[in-house]
Amino acid sequence: MQPEEAVPSGVTGETVVSGGVDGEWAGSGGVQVGPVVSGGVDEERAGLSGLRERVGLRGGGERIGLGVGEFERGTGRLVRLGGVEVGGPELDLWRAPTDNDCGQGGRNGVVGEWRAAGLDRLLHRVELVEEPRGERGSGRVEEPRDDRGSGWVGETRGDRGSGRVEGPRGGRGSGRVGDEELVVRARVAPDGLGVGVRATYRWVSVGDGLRLTVEVEPEGEWGGTAVSPRCGSWPRVGVRMAVPSSLDRVRWFGGGPGEAYADSREAARVGRYTSTVDEMQTPYVVPQENGSRIDVRWAELTDAQGNGLRVEGAPYFQLTARRWTAEDLERARHRSDLTPREHIYLNLDLAQNGLGSASCGPPATPQHTLEPGSYTFSLTFHQFGRSAEHAVGRSDA
User: Is residue 311, in this structure, part of any structural domain at all?
Assistant: yes
d(CA 239, CA 251): 19
What pLDDT, on a 0 to 100 scale, did the predictor assign at position 163?
36
d(CA 67, CA 109): 45
User: Is residue 397, in this structure, part of any structural domain at all?
Assistant: no
User: Is residue 396, in this structure, part of any structural domain at all?
Assistant: no
User: Is residue 282, in this structure, part of any structural domain at all?
Assistant: yes
- What does the pLDDT profile of the chain (397 residues) look like in tens digits? 667 665 544 443 333 333 333 333 333 345 544 445 555 434 444 444 443 333 333 333 589 999 999 999 999 999 999 989 999 999 999 999 999 999 887 677 899 999 999 999 999 999 999 998 754 444 333 343 333 333 322 232 333 333 334 443 333 333 343 458 999 999 999 998 989 999 999 999 998 999 999 999 999 999 988 777 899 999 999 999 999 999 999 999 999 999 999 999 999 999 999 999 999 999 999 999 999 999 999 999 999 999 999 999 999 999 999 999 999 999 999 999 999 999 999 999 999 999 988 888 888 999 999 999 999 999 999 997 644 455 565 433 3
Helix (H) or strand (E) run with residue 331 in it: helix 326-331
Q: What φ, ψ does residue 101 adopt, rounded to 5°?
A: -60, -35
Q: Can you name the residues that pair with 216 across neighbouring β-strands?
A: 199, 375
Q: Which residues contact 271 (CB under 8 A, 6 or more apart)?
A: 3, 4, 5, 6, 7, 253, 256
d(CA 273, CA 345): 20
Contact 71, 203 (CB under 8 A): yes
User: Is residue 395, in this structure, part of any structural domain at all?
Assistant: no
Which ranges of 38-110 would DSSP assign to H, the alpha helix? 43-46, 51-54, 99-102
User: Is residue 65, in this structure, part of any structural domain at all?
Assistant: yes
d(CA 170, CA 258): 36
d(CA 118, CA 287): 21
Checking phi first, is residue 205 left (phi over 0); if not, alpha (psi -120 to 50) or beta?
Answer: beta
Residue 44 buriedness (CB in 10 A; 0-12 / 13-18 / 19+): middle
The DSSP 8-state label assigned to residue 168 in this structure reads: P
Q: DSSP of 221-269, one letter per residue?
A: -TT--SSS------SEEEEEEEEETT--EEEEEEEESS---TTS-TT-E
What pLDDT, on a 0 to 100 scale, did the predictor assign at position 50?
40
Q: Which residues contact 15 (CB under 8 A, 6 or more apart)?
A: 153, 154, 155, 156, 315
What pLDDT, on a 0 to 100 scale, did the predictor assign at position 391?
57
What pLDDT, on a 0 to 100 scale, did the predictor assign at position 227?
73
Structural domains in the chain (count) = 1
Tallying the residues shown for the chain, one arrives at: 397
Helix (H) or strand (E) run with residue 196 in it: strand 196-206
The CA dihedral of 261, 267, 273, 275, to the nearest 10 degrees, is: -70
Q: What φ, ψ does residue 247 adopt, rounded to 5°?
A: -85, 65
Contact 174, 199 (CB under 8 A): no
Q: What φ, ψ does residue 310 adopt, rounded to 5°?
A: -130, 140
Output the domain CATH number for residue 51. Answer: 2.70.98.10
Pairing of strands 87-92, 236-244: antiparallel
Q: Domain containing 256: what range?
A: 2-390
Q: What φ, ψ does residue 115 adopt, rounded to 5°?
A: -70, -40
Which of 131-143 are b and which e, b meaning 16 or more Cβ less than 10 Å from the residue's Cβ? bbeeeebebeeeb
- Angle (CA) 225-159-16 rounded to 5° is 105
User: Is residue 115, in this structure, part of any structural domain at all?
Assistant: yes
> Residue 244, preceding bond cis, omega within 30 degrees?
no
